[in-house]
Each structure stands twice: as structure tokens, then as C-alpha cells.
């Protein structure tokens, strides 16, 4: 793989206090103004615990590729960084957060699937990721079949490790931990031999300063994960505006810069920016 060495320069924004929303429907709430003026705010859902994608740092700021994408989109909708209120949206609550109106949109490693499209609308995709393996450099693990008799880690509730065992390495020994950080620690100590999930997530963790140069991505494409921006079902106007913003982010090279800044240190060989509406099965 080609090593990309860049200096992380992601946008830093600050969480603001919750603002009172007007009574009634979606028209007139603080999340729906596109002017960004008059003290309006916009609430955006992200992950708080995924380095390189959506991470709340100890000083209270937010970094990552999803944060950069969301900040750019918000700018195109008329909002400055200090008008953004970041809202933690865990995977299990993303659809509910949109339905309740807790956030205007969500950028949080949100894979577009037919099942999810029944509940929410999606702009994008803005990144094509793949299930992959993260291993120690020099481990000799380069294929999923190499995991037979090896210890494979993923987080509790994820289907990634089970898919590897079912389809590629039936003799792999599965280890489920509560967080990806625990899997990374196990990989570093040698208590597990590999970690599997989306390559973008793996690259984000491996890009952390304390892990640079210690791990590598196997470069496998065990699945296609089309990351989209989730929007409340039926809000076509916002979907169209976000799609316009994403296209502009690609054309002015901001997308490429964000990829390099957030994932480059992990030797992440990313796919080109996807075309809007093109879902890779």
C-alpha cells in the first residue's frame, strides 16, 4: 500500500448549549434555516468515539472525516462552525434521532441500506468503505483465510467477525470486546491477531499518534459500505441541498484534503469520491 504522510488539519468546532426550538412542525425550527443568520443554530449528529471519523477530544472539540464533511455541508447550508451543535448519535439511535427531530442530519459512518431507507432519507454517498482487517505490521496475515486458528476481534454486537468466520476462516477464534479501543489494545499486546470492521474506522484508529507505524490494513474488500448523510424521511429539500454541498466538496478538493488529513497516516488506500446516488452493492 502507498503510505500517505500528511499533517492532520481537521476543522475544530465547539459544542454549544441546547437552544429552544419553536413549537410546531419542521418549518421554523432552528434546524431548518439555511441563512445561518439571526443567531440560528443547526444540530448535527456524529459519533463521539471514532478517531479519524467522529471524535470528541478531551478539550471538548471535535475532529474527524465525518466532522469535516458535516462542517462543510453546514457551511453550504449557511451556518458557520460556531453555529453548529454536535449531538452524539449512537448507531442504535440514529433513525430515532432523525424521526424525533433531535438533529437536522447525521454524518456518522451511516451505511446506506435498503432497510434503513424505509425509515430515513439519505444524501450521498460521500465515502465508499469496505470491511477489512487491521493487523500488526509484519504479522504475515494478508488474506481472510490466514485467520484460521488466529484470534479475531470485533465489538460486541457487530456481525463483521462472524461474517469472516462464516465465509472465509471457519477456524478463527472470535473475541468480542466492548469497544474498538479494547480491540486495538488487544492487538497491540498480542492477545488478538486481527481486528475487523470498516476500513475507514480501522484507519482512523491506526492513525492515532500512539499507533502510527505499528499496524497496517490488509487491503481486503470483504463488503461495500456506502456512507451517506441521514436526513428525516420526506425532507427532500435538505437531501438535495446536502447533495449539492457534497458535490462541491469533491470538486474544490476539500474532500480529498479531508481524507488525507484524517486517514493518511494509516496507509489507507481510499476509494475515489463516489458519485451522488451511486450505491455500490
Please tell me the total count of domains within the chain: 2
Residues 26 and 155 in one domain: no
Q: Range of 208's domain?
A: 131-217
- What pLDDT is stored for residue 33 in this prediction? 42
Phi, psi of 185 (to 5 degrees): -60, -40
Q: Residue 7 domain-assigned? A: no
Q: How far is CA 19 from CA 101, 258, 271, in A?
A: 13, 29, 38
Q: For residue 122, what is the domain's CATH number?
A: 3.40.190.10
Q: Residue 136 domain-assigned? A: yes
Q: What angle do CA 187, 189, 192 make, to 5 degrees?
A: 40
- What pLDDT is stored for residue 18 in this prediction? 32
Residues 109 and 150 in one domain: no
- What pLDDT is stored for residue 6 in this prediction? 37
Residues 123 and 196 in one domain: no
Residues 205 and 135 in one domain: yes
Q: Residue 5 domain-assigned? A: no
Residues 114 and 252 in one domain: yes
Residues 59 and 194 in one domain: no
Helix 199-206 vs helix 180-189: crossing angle, to nearest 10: 60
Q: Residue 4 domain-assigned? A: no
Q: Are 107 and 53 within 8 A, CB to CB? A: no
Residues 190 and 119 in one domain: no
Residues 171 and 113 in one domain: no
Burial 241-255 (b: 16+ CB within 10 A, else e): bbbebbbebbeeebb
Residues 200 and 236 in one domain: no
pLDDT tens for the chain, residues 1 to 281 = 333 333 333 333 333 333 333 333 343 344 444 334 435 999 999 999 999 999 999 999 999 999 999 999 999 999 999 999 999 998 889 999 999 999 999 999 999 999 999 999 999 999 999 999 999 999 999 999 999 999 999 988 788 898 899 999 999 999 999 888 899 999 999 999 999 999 999 999 988 889 988 999 999 999 999 999 999 999 999 999 999 999 999 999 999 999 999 988 777 889 999 999 999 99
Give the predicted TM-score (pTM) of the model. 0.81
Helices (H) and strands (E) in the chain, counts: 8, 14
Q: Using CA of residue 200, residue 176, residue 210, residue 144, what is the dihedral sign?
A: negative
Amino acid at each position: 500500500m502507498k503510505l500517505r504522510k500528511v499533517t492532520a488539519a481537521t476543522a475544530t468546532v465547539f459544542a454549544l448549549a441546547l437552544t429552544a426550538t419553536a413549537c410546531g412542525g419542521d418549518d421554523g425550527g432552528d434546524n431548518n434555516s439555511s441563512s445561518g443568520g439571526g443567531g440560528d443554530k443547526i444540530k448535527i449528529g456524529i459519533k463521539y468515539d471514532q478517531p479519524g471519523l467522529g471524535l470528541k477530544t478531551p478539550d471538548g472539540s471535535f475532529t474527524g472525516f465525518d466532522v469535516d464533511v458535516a462542517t462543510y455541508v453546514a457551511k453550504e447550508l449557511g451556518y458557520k462552525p460556531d453555529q453548529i451543535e454536535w449531538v452524539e448519535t449512537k448507531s442504535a439511535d440514529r433513525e430515532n434521532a432523525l424521526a424525533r427531530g433531535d438533529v437536522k442530519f447525521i454524518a456518522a459512518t451511516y451505511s446506506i441500506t435498503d432497510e434503513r431507507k424505509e425509515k430515513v432519507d439519505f444524501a450521498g454517498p460521500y465515502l465508499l468503505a469496505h470491511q477489512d482487517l487491521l493487523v500488526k505490521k509484519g504479522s504475515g496475515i494478508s488474506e481472510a483465510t490466514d485467520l484460521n486458528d488466529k484470534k479475531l476481534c470485533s465489538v460486541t454486537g457487530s456481525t463483521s467477525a462472524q461474517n469472516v468466520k462464516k465465509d472465509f476462516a471457519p477456524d478463527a477464534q472470535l473475541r468480542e470486546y466492548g469497544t474498538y479501543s479494547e480491540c486495538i489494545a488487544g492487538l497491540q499486546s498480542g492477545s488478538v491477531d486481527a481486528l475487523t470492521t470498516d476500513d475507514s474506522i480501522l484507519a482512523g484508529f491506526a492513525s492515532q499518534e500512539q499507533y502510527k507505524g505499528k499496524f497496517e490494513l490488509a487491503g481486503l474488500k470483504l463488503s461495500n459500505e456506502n456512507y451517506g448523510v441521514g436526513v428525516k424521511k420526506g425532507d427532500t429539500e435538505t437531501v438535495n441541498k446536502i447533495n449539492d454541498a457534497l458535490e462541491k466538496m469533491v470538486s474544490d478538493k476539500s474532500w480529498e484534503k479531508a481524507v488525507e488529513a484524517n486517514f493518511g497516516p494509516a496507509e489507507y488506500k481510499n476509494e475515489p469520491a463516489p458519485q451522488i446516488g451511486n450505491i455500490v452493492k
